[in-house]
Each structure stands twice: as structure tokens, then as C-alpha cells.
């Protein structure tokens, strides 16, 4: 069965996410700048890179390699075109994170924004165990109405197929999943959204936090 993300047009996704009533593209962009800047790494991986929102914050002075991972080849082609000026740093890989996680390379930092919702805790655990990152920075969506987790917009029907793969996210369950792998939570930040929802950033570090 094809993954519904392979059928969603990037233009519909980005226009929906950037609407003033949604504003997730803009807020995620700001979060990603901090995610790229805050850790002492020269290698990172962005899971569910989509059209590359936030990749402009990659510093070539800091990063030797950044992997952009997505299941949609058209998304990745767009990323390579948009960010050709960092082609010596950026490498895009088409990988199904549920069924092909063993293809993922090792990386020091994993950024997973609005991604875990679509692969589930178990698959995310396998992904992190494969990548062996020291730092993991996630963003999950907090919903006021679980039956209406996609905000109203002219593009809402582009996302109809996502109900088949969407998982309800809980901070406690995610943290329990990470703790099983030896990660400790180091950061929690809540960013309110215009429609009553919120984006919750949760960061984790492998091993003892003060070690």
C-alpha cells in the first residue's frame, strides 16, 4: 500500500502550512534555526524534510553533512533544487522510515518535526536506534480536538488520506520511548498556534545529561 505522503502535492502542503490561520511553516522555520544552532555537532539528519523549510539555517561553517530524509521523491527533488547552494553539505535520501529504516546512516543530531505522528512510536524507536544520534530534537502537535487535527483551509482535502497513518501523540509516551533507548529529556518548549493547537518541542540527549 502506498504511503499517502507520496500523493500529497508539495504546493498544497506548503500553502496550507503557511496560512495565517495555521502558521506552522513559519513557526517550524524559527524552531529549526534553533535546532541547527544549539548543539555541538557537524552532522545532522532531518526526518520528513518535505520541501526543505528551515534548511536555509544550515551553516556551512558548522555542518559537514546534513541528510534530508523523505518518502516523496518529488519533495526531495525540490529540496535539491532550492538548496543547490549547499549541495556539498546536503544529501537527500528517499527512505520509507517504517520499512526501510535500516538504510539510514549514522548521524549526530536527528531533527524530527511533525514526523513521529505519521510513523508511530515503535518505528521512531527503530529509527533512532539505527541512527545512533547523541541528540534528538522533535516537534509534535498538541491538538485540542483529536477528531480535527488538520486545521481548516482551502487545501484540507489534500490531506484526507493521512487518517490512515496518523497517530495521536503524547509527551509521556514519547519520552518513555526515548528513555528505553537511553535518552534523557533536556528541553521542553510549547509554541501556541493561531487555531488553538500548539507545537511542542522535546529534545533528548543520549546518556547522562550531566555526564
* pLDDT over threshold 80, residue 34: yes
Place of cell 526526518: 47
Q: Which of 18-32, 42-56, 88-102, 175-189 has the lowest mean pLDDT?
A: 18-32
For the chain, give every domain's residue range.
4-206
Burial of 72 (0-12, 13-18, 19+ CB in 10 A): buried
Q: Which CATH architecture has domain 4-206?
A: 3-Layer(aba) Sandwich (3.40)
- φ and ψ at 186, to 5 degrees? -120, -15
In which band, very low, low, confident or very high, does the pLDDT at 8 lie, cut at 50, 70 and 90?
confident
User: In the sheet that 183-192 helps form, which strands lie side by side, from edge to edge?
Assistant: 90-94, 65-70, 43-47, 109-113, 135-142, 198-206, 183-192
Coil/strand/helix, residue 201: strand
Report residue 20's pLDDT band, with 50, 70 and 90 as the boundaries. Answer: confident
Q: What is the pTM of this model?
A: 0.92
Pairing status of strand 90-94 against strand 65-70: parallel
Name the pLDDT band for 150 (thresholds 50, 70, 90).
Answer: low
The per-residue pLDDT for 151 is 54
Query: Mean pLDDT of all residues in the chain?
Result: 90
Amino acid at each position: 500500500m502506498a504511503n499517502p505522503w507520496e500523493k500529497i502535492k508539495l504546493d498544497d502542503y506548503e500553502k496550507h502550512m503557511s496560512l495565517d490561520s495555521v502558521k506552522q511553516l513559519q513557526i517550524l522555520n524559527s524552531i529549526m534555526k534553533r535546532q541547527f544552532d544549539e548543539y555541538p555537532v557537524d552532522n545532522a539528519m532531518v526526518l520528513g524534510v518535505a520541501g526543505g523549510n528551515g534548511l536555509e539555517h544550515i551553516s556551512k561553517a558548522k555542518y559537514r553533512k546534513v541528510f534530508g530524509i523523505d518518502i516523496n521523491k518529488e519533495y526531495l527533488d525540490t529540496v535539491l533544487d532550492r538548496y543547490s547552494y549547499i549541495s556539498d553539505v546536503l544529501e537527500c535520501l528517499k527512505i520509507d522510515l517504517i520499512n526501510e529504516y535500516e538504510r539510514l546512516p549514522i548521524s549526530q543530531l536527528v531533527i524530527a518535526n511533525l514526523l513521529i505522528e505519521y510513523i508511530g512510536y515503535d518505528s521512531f524507536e527503530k529509527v533512532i536506534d539505527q541512527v545512533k544520534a547523541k541528540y534528538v530534537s522533535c516537534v509534535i502537535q498538541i491538538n485540542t480536538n483529536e477528531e480535527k487535527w488538520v486545521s481548516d483551509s482551502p487545501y484540507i482535502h489534500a490531506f484526507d488520506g493521512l487518517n490512515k497513518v496518523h497517530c495521536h501523540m503524547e509527551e509521556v509516551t514519547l519520552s518513555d520511548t526515548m528513555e528505553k533507548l537511553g535518552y534523557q529529556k533536556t528541553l521542553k518548549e510549547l509554541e501556541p498556534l493561531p487555531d488553538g493547537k500548539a507545537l511542542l518541542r522535546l529534545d533528548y540527549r543520549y546518556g547522562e545529561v550531566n555526564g
